C-alpha cells in the first residue's frame, strides 16, 4: 500500500507532466502557424512599359523607377502595402505574352520564367497565392503597332483585330484566376509619333495621323477589349496631353514654339532627347499616379475580399 508521502509525490509528478505537455503543445502550435503576409501581391504584366525600361543603362536597374515600382511605393504611402511581382518583358506583344516562352531581359528583382509564357507564369503565381492578390496591372499592345509610324492609320487598323482578340483571351484568363473583386488596371501609351511634328511638313502630317489613330482606333479597341473582364482602362494618351490639338502651342527649348502635345511627349518620354519611345522618370511617375488613383477608387467602390 502506498504511503501518503508516495501519493503526494505521484500527484506532483502528474501535475508537472501535465503542465509540460501543455507548454510543449502550445509551443508546437505557435511554431507551426503560417506567417501572415504583410500586405498583398501586386502583379505587373506586359511590355517594357510594365517592366520600367529606360534607355542608356547597361543593366536593368532603371526598371526600379518604372511605374509598377512607383505604384507599390505610392500605395505604401497610403497605408496599403503591395508586394510587387513584375512579370513585364521588353518587346512583348499581345501574341508573345500568351505564346512565347521565357523573357530574355526581365525587370530588376523580377520572377524568372524560362520554361513558360509570361501569362502562364503570372497565372501560376496567382494560383499559388489565390487569396493574397491585391492588384494586377497590364501594359500591352504598343509593340503590336510599333512599326506603324510611316502609315499610322492603315497599319494600325490592320493590327487591331489580332490585338483585340489576344487581349480578350488574356483578360478572361486573368479575371478567372483572381476573381471579380481584385482590381485589374490596364494602361495605354503616350503618342510618341507626335514628336515627328518637329521634322517638318511631312512629319507634321504623320503626327496628325498618329493622333487620329490613337483617338479613333487604338484606345477604343483597347478599352473595349478589357471591358468584358471588368478591367479598368487608364487613358495615358489623354493624360500625357497627346490628344491636345496641334493648334494649342507653348514654348520648348531648344525648339521654340511647338504644339503642347509635342512639348508634353518630349518632356515625359525620351523620344526627342534620344529617339526612344519609353518614359523618362517623370513620365513613369505620371502613369503611376494615374494607376494608383484608379486603384484606390476601385477599392472604395468595390472592396476586395478580406
DSSP single-letter state for residue 105: S
Contact 186, 234 (CB under 8 A): yes
What are the pLDDT digits (tens) for 247-262? Answer: 999 999 999 999 999 9
How many helices and strands in the chain, by DSSP H and E?
12, 7
The topology (CATH level 3) of 36-301 is: Rossmann fold (3.40.50)
Residue 37 backbone phi and psi in degrees, to 5: -70, 125
CB contact at 8 A, 119 and 97: yes
For residue 76, the model assigns a pLDDT of 87
Q: What is the mean pLDDT of residues 121-145?
A: 97
SS (H, E, C) 26-89: HHHHHHHCCCCCCCEEEEEEECHHHHCCCCCCCCCHHHHHCHHHHHHHHHHHCCCCEEEEECCE
Mean pLDDT of 31-46: 70
Residue 23 has pLDDT above 70, yes or no: no
Which pLDDT tens digit goes with each residue over 275-284? 999 999 999 9
Q: With 0-12 CB in 10 A as exposed, 13-18 as middle and 19+ as buried, what is 254?
A: exposed
Tell whether the model's pLDDT for residue 8 goes beyond 90.
no
Angle, vertex CA 263, rays to CA 56 and CA 223, nearest 5 = 85
What's the pLDDT at 99? 98
Q: What is the mean pLDDT of residues 168-176?
A: 98
Q: How confident is the model at residue 21 (pLDDT cuts 50, 70, 90)?
A: very low
> Quick one: which of 136, 295, 303 has its CA closest to 226?
136
> If pLDDT is split at 50, 70 and 90, which confidence band does 36 have?
low
Residue 42 pLDDT > 80, yes or no? yes
Distance CA 94, CA 102 (A): 15
Give the C-alpha separation, 53 to 193, whole Å: 19
pLDDT on residue 59: 86
**Bridge-partner residues for 179, per DSSP?**
none
Mean pLDDT value across residues 122-147: 96
Distance CA 167, CA 97 (A): 10
Residues linked to residue 257 through DSSP beta bridges, in sequence order: 251
The grid coordinates of residue 224 equal 473595349
In whole angstroms, what is the distance from residue 243 CA to residue 222 CA?
Answer: 16
**The model's pTM:** 0.86
Residue 6: pLDDT band by 50, 70, 90 thresholds?
very low
Q: pLDDT for 52-107, tens place per residue?
A: 999 999 888 999 999 999 999 999 888 899 999 999 999 999 999 999 999 998 99
Question: Where would I find the H helices in 179-259?
Answer: 201-213, 219-226, 236-239
Choose the weakest-confidence range: 52-56, 219-223, 233-237, 297-301.
297-301
More confident residue, 14 or 202: 202
pLDDT exceeds cutoff 80 at 111: yes
Characterise 102 by phi-psi region: left (phi > 0), alpha (psi -120 to 50), beta (else).
left
40-46: strand order across its sheet: 82-86, 40-46, 133-139, 184-187, 232-234
195, three cell numbers: 514628336
pLDDT averaged over every residue in the chain: 88
**Nearest-angstrom CA–CA distance, 208 and 214:** 10
Which pLDDT score is estimated for 37?
Answer: 59
Which of the four pLDDT bands, split at 50, 70 and 90, describes residue 221?
very high
For residue 155 the three cell numbers come to 497599319
Amino acid at each position: 500500500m502506498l504511503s501518503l508521502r508516495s501519493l503526494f509525490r505521484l500527484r506532483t509528478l502528474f501535475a508537472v507532466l501535465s503542465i509540460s505537455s501543455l507548454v510543449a503543445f502550445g509551443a508546437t502550435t505557435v511554431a507551426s502557424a503560417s506567417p501572415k503576409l504583410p500586405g498583398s501581391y501586386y502583379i505587373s504584366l506586359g511590355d517594357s512599359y510594365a517592366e520600367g525600361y529606360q534607355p542608356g543603362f547597361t543593366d536593368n536597374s532603371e526598371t526600379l523607377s518604372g511605374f509598377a515600382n512607383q505604384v507599390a511605393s505610392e500605395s505604401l504611402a497610403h497605408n496599403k502595402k503591395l508586394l510587387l511581382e513584375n512579370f513585364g518583358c521588353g518587346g512583348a506583344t499581345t501574341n508573345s505574352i500568351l505564346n512565347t516562352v521565357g523573357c530574355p531581359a526581365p525587370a530588376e528583382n523580377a520572377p524568372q520564367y524560362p520554361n513558360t509564357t509570361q501569362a502562364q507564369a503570372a497565372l501560376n503565381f496567382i494560383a499559388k497565392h489565390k487569396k493574397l492578390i491585391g492588384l494586377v496591372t497590364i501594359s500591352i499592345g504598343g509593340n503590336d503597332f510599333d512599326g506603324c509610324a510611316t502609315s499610322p492609320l492603315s497599319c494600325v487598323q490592320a493590327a487591331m483585330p489580332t490585338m483585340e482578340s489576344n487581349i480578350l483571351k488574356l483578360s478572361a484568363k486573368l479575371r478567372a484566376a483572381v476573381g471579380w473583386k481584385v482590381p485589374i488596371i490596364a494602361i495605354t501609351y503616350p503618342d510618341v509619333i507626335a514628336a515627328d511634328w518637329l521634322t517638318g511638313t511631312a512629319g507634321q502630317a504623320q503626327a496628325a495621323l498618329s493622333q487620329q489613330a490613337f483617338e479613333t482606333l487604338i484606345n477604343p479597341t483597347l478599352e473595349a477589349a478589357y471591358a468584358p473582364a471588368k478591367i479598368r482602362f487608364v487613358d495615358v494618351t489623354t493624360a500625357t496631353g497627346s490628344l491636345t490639338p496641334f493648334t494649342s502651342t507653348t514654348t520648348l527649348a531648344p525648339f521654340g514654339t511647338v504644339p503642347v502635345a509635342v512639348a508634353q511627349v518630349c518632356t515625359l518620354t525620351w523620344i526627342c532627347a534620344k529617339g526612344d519611345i519609353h518614359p523618362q522618370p517623370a513620365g513613369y511617375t505620371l502613369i503611376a499616379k494615374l494607376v494608383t488613383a484608379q486603384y484606390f477608387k476601385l477599392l472604395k467602390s468595390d472592396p476586395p475580399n478580406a
